Structure 1
Amino acid sequence: MKVTFSLFTQTCIDKLKSSGSFSTAHLYGCAASSFSEFLGGHVIMFSDITPQALKLYEKYLIRTSHSYNTVSTYMRMLRAIYNKAVMAGLAKYVFNLFHDVFTGIDRNHKKALDEPKLREFLTGEVESPILKKVQLVANAMYKLCGMPFVDLQHLDVNSVVDGVLKYNRHKTGTSVNIPVNKEICKLITQLCVPSFDLSTETGYKSYQSLLRKFNAGLKRLAKALNITIHVSSYTFRHSWATNALRHHVPVEVISSALGHSDIRTTQIYLKGFDAREIGIANKKVCKCLSVK
């Protein structure tokens, strides 16, 4: 039987799952499913992966309201699968096959809330007990230096030793230490977030279900507070990093608080300052030239 791109993708997904890489397996599946939908639901052949087809696929994704970061994710997953097939001798090497499609990071995509909107989102009055719980979790993520939602799952007061919260990031294993006060310790005890064994497929699926519910809750909370900006679990991490920069916290400190092993990763989170802020800074810096 001839091995198709679709069949090879499933083989890659099965191997990833067997090694516990459920997140990457999920992304492989989403990318292949999306490209198959673009082709009209057909089985994907290796011959379907051409520079011309990929460019048309990119335009299709943008036309169907996908963000550039989603475009990049799908393209990078397809590229990874194709490269594995080349290594396995199942596909021919094509120079610059993915060269003309977007595989970078959309730095113009706004992920952070400014301080007034953030304050309203985290402290605004809501009546629904469910939305109050969503707001509580969002507060914890922000107050714990933009802690990722996945790391919140394994958090309890026993993680606090001598006033310092110590944890290892699930994604990278990087150790993070955050000084906490009694108020934040109380917040941690109020969370009661269920913990899942993410090394199993069942645990991963349960976690993904909880994450989807949390993101849906964030949308409902934003609507209840008349906030029109898109909010997701990533918002509080990006907001913490951006606001820390605006308060002139050194990038190295921000990077350590986020648990990044490379400062370049931190810089992706930071959109920088707007023209007004740059203008104020420039006036201060140039003040030394004024005649006294």
Structure 2
Amino acid sequence: MKARKKKETLLLDDFFRQQIAHLDENENHFTAANYRNARQSVRRFVGEESGCFPLKEVTGQWVSDYVVYMQDTDKLSASSADCYYRILRAVYNKAVKQSRVEEAEEYPFKYINIAVPPTLKRALSETEVCRLRDAKLTGEKARARDVFMFLFYARGMCFVDLFKLKKSDLYGGYINYSRSKTSMPLRVKIIPELRELIDRYEEEDSPYLFPFLHRNRYHKEKEVAEQSALKRVNRQLEEIGKALDFPFPLTTYVARHTWATLVESCGTATAIISQALGHSSERVTRIYMKGMPSHVIDETNEEMLNALIRYNSKKGKGKNKKCLIPCKNRTSHRSVKINP
């Protein structure tokens, strides 16, 4: 009976804090920040009773009222409202999965969806990528540009994953890491462009691939958090983008968008792109994750660079621009043994 009473009195705010603490402990600070924002939104909606609101009272009607509140009272954008809604749903699902709360007869999130307008595509053209790569930059701007190019060359890697990369993650000719958001293990071949950037910023007394990202400019003995490092890099990238007259603000995320867009322009199968980006939540990705050889993705990256980027350099002028990327019907995959 006591165990049942504990389930009935689990508080939403308390469980939210537990999830945030777990994310911080695992160094998923970006996701933890989103959870904090969602928690504050829920607290505003519940009001004075937010600290003692039972999780079991999250019903379909309650969720519906919360969605209306976010859009009408809090004036959140559709994308922000959808983000907080999905976080709330994830928190509820974890409580049920852990048997911390009784599963409702009718799932509270069953009939509720938030329509999010399509995101404006922000991807550089191959010409703009080459202009950025070849721009004469110094100091922080040069470092920010190099971060962007590393993310691009590393198959659209996320900044948070680059921030965490250590020298120990490099072995067997690959960068080996798990994507922070999905925990999907990824292996990225160290192509010459990546090797050049890695060597450029190597410091013997630092375990990190890019030590300058962790260095506080004003207190050298202190390390900066990934969010601070990201803001600093994006601030420099925005100034670079304006100087180069790019049509939208330049950020680290544009590198990810650009890689996916350029690879897609060569006819690459969506499944290959999705797996390369670590989108394990997508149905098409799950289908191909069962055996898609890692070398197929590496070949995709190499061939896109050969077709669209490498030819457009002083050394590569005159090279064939023909796109050799696997086309969309190249989605079959044979059983290939891959070393772990």
Residue 166 (1) aligns with residue 185 (2): no
Alignment partner, residue 256 of structure 2: 237
Change (3 A) 1:258 1:43: closer
Alignment partner, residue 157 of structure 2: 147
Q: Distance in 2 between matches of 1:215 and 1:174?
A: 26
1:11 to 18, 21, 35: 18
Per-residue deviation at 1:107? 7.7
Per-residue deviation at 1:75? 0.7
Paired residues, number: 254
Q: Distance in 1 between matches of 2:175 and 2:67?
A: 46
Change (3 A) 1:219 1:28: same
Per-residue deviation at 1:13? 3.0
1:111/1:234 contact within 8 Å kept: no
Alignment partner, residue 315 of structure 2: none
Change (3 A) 1:54 1:136: same
Alignment partner, residue 236 of structure 2: 217
Change (3 A) 1:20 1:147: closer
Give CA deviations for 1:246-277 in whole Å, capped at 9, x if unaligned.
0123445434544566773499xxxxxxxxxx
Residue 227 (1) aligns with residue 238 (2): no
For residues 132-211 of structure 1, the aligned pairs below 5 Å read 132-153=142-163, 154=165, 159=170, 164-171=173-180, 172-178=183-189, 180-181=191-192, 183-191=193-201, 193-194=210-211, 206-211=225-230
Change (3 A) 1:94 1:63: farther
Per-residue deviation at 1:130? 1.9
Alignment partner, residue 97 of structure 1: 108
1:122/1:138 contact within 8 Å kept: no
Alignment partner, residue 285 of structure 1: none
1:176/1:257 contact within 8 Å kept: no
Structure number with the bigger relative contact order (C-alpha 8 A, sep ≥ 6) is 1
Q: For residue 53 of structure 1, what is the amino acid of its counterpart?
A: D
**RMSD of aligned Cα (Å):** 4.1
Identity of aligned residues (%): 23
Which runs of 5 or more structure 2 residues have no equivalent in the other structure? Answer: 1-8, 203-209, 215-221, 288-340
Q: Distance in 2 between matches of 1:100 and 1:61?
A: 22
Residue 88 (1) aligns with residue 97 (2): no
Q: For residue 14 of structure 1, what is the amino acid of its counterpart?
A: A
Q: TM-score, normalised by structure 1?
A: 0.66
Change (3 A) 1:119 1:23: closer
Question: What SS class does the counterpart of residue 89 from structure 2 fall into?
Answer: helix
Pick which of 216-225 and 141-150 moved more: 216-225
Per-residue deviation at 1:173? 4.8
Question: What SS class does the counterpart of residue 148 from structure 2 fall into?
Answer: helix
